[in-house]
Amino acid sequence: MPVDFNQGLDARLVDDDVAQELSSLKLDPVRMAYDLAVERKALEKAIPALARARFNRRHVIVYTLYNFTDTPEDFWRRVADLLEWGVVCYPMRYEPLNSLVKNQYVSPYWTKEDLEMVAKARRVLGAGGAFPPYEELRKKMVGARDFYQAFELRPPRATKPQLVLV
């Protein structure tokens, strides 16, 4: 029977033994979270443990909270980490529980423009709202000098004038 931990596994608890036990389940995808920079070490341990247990890294989805207590730079570094590790980054925009209108909350560390950059990148560069570890996307995020370079999109191409027959 398929198993789905859709809220995500706690990466701090995933070591080689746990990963091996998980491999006996019909588990696809594996979900975890990278909401804060302090979770980095746990993920650096959990992801290779899952790989050693024969889980395909591209089937590891990591929820990545943003617009909470982080800055755009913090978020970009976490996205770059995940793509560098070969797993899927699924950005999750923070919204307070008492919010009456979706996507209106802007944390003190973000701007509306920053949030729009992430939203557009998810639509244009992502797949189903996620950032898969595609090589070109990985290079873009890992090689960027800052959040703005990582999430900027190319300007639209100028269209050629249309020939109108009169």
Per-residue pLDDT 10s for the chain (166 aa) are 899 998 899 999 999 999 999 999 999 999 999 999 999 999 999 999 999 999 999 999 999 999 999 999 999 999 999 999 999 999 999 999 998 888 999 999 999 999 999 999 999 999 999 999 999 999 999 999 999 999 999 765 666 666 666 6
For residue 155, the model assigns a pLDDT of 64
From the list 62, 67, 98, the residue with the least C-alpha distance to 81 is: 62
Q: Which pLDDT does position 100 carry in this prediction?
A: 87
Q: How many angstroms separate the CA atoms of 49 and 56, rounded? A: 11
| C-alpha span between 10 and 13 (Å, rounded) | 6
Enumerate the β-bridge partners of residue 26.
2
**In a 3-state reduction of DSSP, which class is residue 64?**
strand
Model pTM? Answer: 0.90
pLDDT for res 110: 98
